[in-house]
Structure 1
Amino acid sequence: MYWAHSVSHDLINWIHLDLAFAPTEPFDINGCLSGSATVLPGNKPIMLYTGIDTENRQVQNLAVPKDLSDPYLREWVKHTGNPIISLPEEIQPDDFRDPTTTWLEEDGTWRLLVGSQKDKTGIAFLYHSGDFVNWTKSDSPLHKVSGTGMWECVDFFPVWVDSTNGVDTSIINPSNRVKHLLKLGIQDHGKDCYLIGKYSADKENYVPEDELTLSTLRLDYGMYYASKSFFDPVKNRRIMTAWVNESDSEADVIARGWSGVQSFPRSLWLDKNQKQLLQWPIEEIEMLHQNEVSFHNKKLDGGSSLEVLGITASQADVKISFKLANLEEAEELDPSWVDPQLICSENDASKKGKFGPFGLLALASSDLREQTAIFFRVFRKNGRYVVLMCSDQSRLVFFNSIVS
């Protein structure tokens, strides 16, 4: 595993540079895994990353830019004293990785988290340091949950309770205006889940408002994993990107020479009820917009479709509004359906319901043998309506009622 390196002035157009890290030293000779950047006082960036050492143990390492005057920070120098954090005695060699962005406490010490597990208990180990080189593990993890397995690509950051702006990672709790979000990559299930709660710097503990389960809050129900956020001080926002895996075969991946892509960057903030994250593509995405195609007031009966002409790009930003009549006739949502992703997989775009599927066919061939269906279903639940949005990537689905 290597670290590739790309830079951007706008988070849309990227310049590929030479590799940043390669496995060259005893502390990372078997691979350079994920990590995080922190900007120290004086505008000095520093990188923490996981290395696999000569004994195949996951350890945490430090690197700094070779030339701070280089705006692209092309070259990085690994700390000669690596690893700065060794594998805890009770943890298996391959269960200790992905240090977070650090935060600075009022007492002048730095804190960071490292993901782990022991006997299927997911763990976020908490470390602190006064000089960023010598780190000490806290007596208790920041958080742990039995039965969840390995936690990787952990992220931990504050969110305002009364603003859509982002918050610097080192802001702790000014007048109770922030909560803290703990994001966890649940390796056994390939899901990015998160908890919202209160962090106490004095007690070094985190109290989430809800329990972590497989039906807990998800960042995304698509192929979205190993996400990482950062605070943008220029536009005062928190931005997240993630790895988007693909559903094609290993043979296709090998023939193509690459696997997976990075997601569109998205801004994050806490909803008004303080119960979940809201997300939206960053405003810079709009610079990609060209050749707008629009239409209004088209009536679609069951089984009918409408082809949208004039779009030839492989990427499209679609804004669509459906108006439905007689919603009181919608089906009752099955009480056993608690996982939206499972509902979508069991009721793909070929399964006709009272209100759905209806939506879009993207990247569809003229004979519809190849397509990606993005569709909706409407249900009733306890006197309210539940709208389910699904994506069907099986490519061999035929539809009763769909808009293409």
Structure 2
Amino acid sequence: MKTQYNKVLLAYSGGLDTSIIIPWLKENYSCEVIAASADVGQGTELDGLEEKAIKTGASKLYVLDLTDEFIDDYVFPTLQAGAKYEGTYLLGTSFARPPIAKHLVEIAEKEGCDAICHGCTGKGNDQVRFELSIKAFAPDMPIIAPWREWDIKSREEEIDYAEAHNVPLKINRETNYSKDKNLWHLSHEGLDLEDPSLEPQYQKPGFLELGVSPEQAPDTPAYVTIHFEKGIPTAVDGVAMKGSDIVRTLNKLGGENGIGIIDIVENRLVGMKSRGVYETPGGTILYFAHAQLEMLCLDKATAHYKELVAQKFSEIVYDGQWYTPLREALSAFVTETQKTVTGDVKLKLYKGNIIPAGTTSPYSLYSEELATFGEDGIYDQKDSAGFINLFGLPVTVQAKCKKNWPKE
């Protein structure tokens, strides 16, 4: 027999999965359902959500404004790390889950809920991200995952269930992409994208939502200057802004110029490969600008080691392990490296391309006098001979010894 619950908190987005979960929970658990939605910058997707949740059977809906917390406490620390999953994906869905799960636990405890429910599929990464984050704050809280229980096998069957239970939907069978949107990004999966041999329909009206394809971008480049303080963006074109407004501003500018559209086949945590199209216009600009500034401000040893940390950091975020000692330790390392990552980065945006247009920093390690091809008074080129002799000593020794080795 199923464990019965009196009151269940549902992580509710109003999308296809969570829309049908409300009546499903009431049918299968005979419980009160409280819905909770997180505003992480998805905009109009929250319109009419309360009415929809109540009509579908929820007793109430919480809408949490987490946008600033999401950007300041999760996105920007990951940006400072330079973390890109498999060198490409800017983790837009990944780091949105930990703050949402943290607040779900707070609401569940406040409401006296005896279980938390999510709509993540058994094939995806989000089930891990939500559940690990919930366990970090409520290790004994039961978790209901309908996709691991019900008989529904596809999104088409979900639509059938919704229609049978009079659940209103914003999608139809032809536009049934699986999407996830927040202030940082928008993902597209499913339908024709499940065939990697097919080119995404970028020109199709309504496919791209955060911008235009590079072909549709203006023929004139746009310039932007971003200021960073200790690796955190704080101003755009000389105007100081909070983090979320910086992302909004760069989303608009980047979207207009076809920036930040990627088409990837990624390795999911559960073992399968998944093809998706991601739009991250503002984030792509910020990552590029931050890397330009680090080029100027970090020494070689730190920069190269930080690349190793960035790869591991990206895997931790992707795998839902934000609330772990290792992530905290790596963040401490990253924070230390960012003490001198302050300055201005000017970029040229043109038809999907980001082109460096000048970087300055009061902590720059670049010395024009030292690096010049012209005459200088601080570098003695004769010194390089001794350096090469010592650096090449192992090569020299091996070459001499090999003369006495037996012939093969």
Task: Specify which structure has the higher proportion of helix.
Answer: 2
**Which one has more relative contact order, counting CA pairs under 8 Å at least 6 apart?**
2
> TM (normalized to structure 2)?
0.25
> TM (normalized to structure 1)?
0.25
Structure of greater Rg: 2
Task: Specify which structure has the higher proportion of strand.
Answer: 1
